[in-house]
Amino acid sequence: MPPSIRTFERMQIVALAVGWIYATLTYRTTLHGRLSPILFAMALTTASVVVVILIFLISRRRSTWAKWSLIVLSAPATAPWAALVHRAGVSDWTAVMGLFQAGLQIVSLFYLIHPASRAWFGSRVE
């Protein structure tokens, strides 16, 4: 496994952990009255399981379709941050944590298209 894939994997795991903290803080401060705790927990768990499976398939099984699935699914998850920063700025620690998490996700995806990663995916024996 090339270092770029290891870095991708580590950054995604850290982004997932930061995302859990961010989601919990957001739920407690703004979503508690609007969303059932059970529904919130189910949605967070489902999204996390999907991401963990994709990370595993990418880093351990060299799955190209999982790589592109994660890239496509990450785009709508991180896109709202640009609008938020443009409209409201960064006003509290929750926003900083959310931006950090989105940044980790975006940067980790660039490691998937690194030349060493592309060669590694290309050398997969079917």
The series of mean pLDDT values per 10 residues for the chain, 126 residues long, is 94 94 86 87 94 96 94 81 64 81 92 92 71
> H/E/C letters for each residue in the chain?
CCHHHHHHHHHHHHHHHHHHHHHHHHHHHHHCCCCCHHHHHHHHHHHHHHHHHHHHHHHHHCCHHHHHHHHHHHHHHHCHHHHHHHHHCCCCHHHHHHHHHHHHHHHHHHHHCCHHHHHHHHCCCC
pTM to 2 decimal places:
0.85
